[in-house]
């Protein structure tokens, strides 16, 4: 029998990563941050100075990249042997990831890599199509969302706390643009997966969201 899966899908900044990591720790399950796979591909393409509109060139990079993930307490990602962890979180990387993620052959190439994370005793998988495409048979599915304004505020605060200069208006525009791209693409768009429970975290604390998700699984 395959291991249990809890999928947490939703738009950028909804709190998926924060909540997924905490819930995986509480349950003692594995954790898949699927966005970091698309982000790693984006970094590989940026480093190769690829033309992002050249789908075949992007696929070639996806086919050849060697990724190693340690999704433990602190995420550690190696791309072709180099530690790229510190580069994963930037807005440039996130926006580039959403461009390459829109290409159907790219998604097909990265599908099995994500399925391979399903291991005993269970998996918490965070992304955009975890409950709809990658693990449609997951027994537990959450769609975690929040208003674009609240998500932009969170991202702004996160960058300022890291000492990174940020512009709230620009972040809001980028979040809205990413929402549009992720929701309107033809393949594996961001949707509320069938059977998912929707949680709007706009007015909930991180702990309240964790409790709500834990009560679903328990
Ligand atoms: N309920 C909440 N209330 C306040 N802040 C929150 C809440 N949930 C998450 N945050 C904060 O919002 C920021 C973004 O959260 P997180 O990175 O988990 O979002 P995400 O959905 O995984 O985003 P992405 O898809 O872009 O990776 C973090 O600084 C996190 O601490
Ligand atoms: N299952 C997924 C996960 C991510 N993406 C794309 O990657 C971008 C970055 O994801 P983050 O969760 O790390 O912000 C995201 O905007 C999506 O375009 C995806 O398509 N499917």
Residue 205 C-alpha to ligand 2 middle, in angstroms? 23
Domains and CATH numbers, the chain: 4-210 (3.40.50.300)
Dist. CA 201 → ligand 1 center (Å): 10
Ligand number nearest CA of 133 is: 2
- Residue pLDDT tens, the chain, 218 long: 789 999 999 999 999 999 999 999 999 999 999 999 999 999 999 999 999 999 999 999 999 999 998 866 678 999 999 999 999 988 889 989 999 999 999 999 999 999 999 999 999 999 999 999 999 999 999 999 999 999 999 999 998 998 888 999 999 999 999 999 999 999 999 999 999 999 999 999 999 999 999 999 98
How far is it, in rounded angstroms, from Cα 77 to Cα 6?
A: 22
> CA dihedral in degrees (151, 152, 157, 162; nearest 10)?
100
Tell if the pTM clears 0.90, that is, is over it.
Answer: yes
- DSSP per-residue codes, 58-91: HHHHHHH--EEEE-SSS-EEEETTEE-GGGTTSH
ipTM of this predicted complex?
Answer: 0.98
Q: Are 217 and 23 in contact (CB under 8 A)?
A: yes
Record the tokens describing residue 166, joined without a space.
Answer: 């940020």
Spatial neighbors of 216 by CB under 8 A, at least 6 apart, are: 6, 140, 142, 197
Gap from CA of 160 to ligand 1 centroid (Å): 14
Rg (CA), the chain: 16
């Amino acid at each position: 029998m395959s291991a249990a899966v809890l999928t947490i899908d939703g738009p950028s900044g909804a709190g998926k990563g924060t909540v997924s990591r905490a819930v995986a720790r509480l349950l003692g399950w594995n954790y898949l941050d699927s966005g970091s796979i698309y982000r790693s591909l984006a970094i590989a393409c940026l480093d190769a100075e690829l033309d992002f509109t050249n789908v075949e060139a992007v696929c070639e990079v996806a086919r050849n990249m060697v990724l190693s993930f340690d999704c433990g307490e602190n995420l550690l990602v190696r791309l072709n042997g180099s530690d790229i962890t510190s580069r994963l979180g930037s807005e440039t990387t996130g926006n580039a990831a959403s461009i390459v993620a829109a290409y159907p052959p790219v998604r097909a190439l990265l599908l099995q890599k994500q399925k391979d994370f399903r291991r005993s005793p269970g998996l918490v998988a965070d992304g955009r199509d975890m409950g709809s495409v990658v693990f449609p048979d997951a027994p537990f599915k959450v769609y975690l969302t929040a208003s674009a304004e609240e998500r932009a505020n969170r991202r702004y605060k996160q960058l300022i706390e890291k000492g990174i200069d940020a512009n709230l208006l620009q972040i809001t525009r980028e979040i809205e643009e990413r929402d549009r791209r992720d929701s309107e693409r033809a393949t594996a768009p961001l949707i509320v997966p069938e059977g998912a429970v929707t949680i709007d975290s706009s007015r909930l604390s991180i702990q309240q969201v964790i409790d709500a998700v834990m009560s679903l699984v328990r």
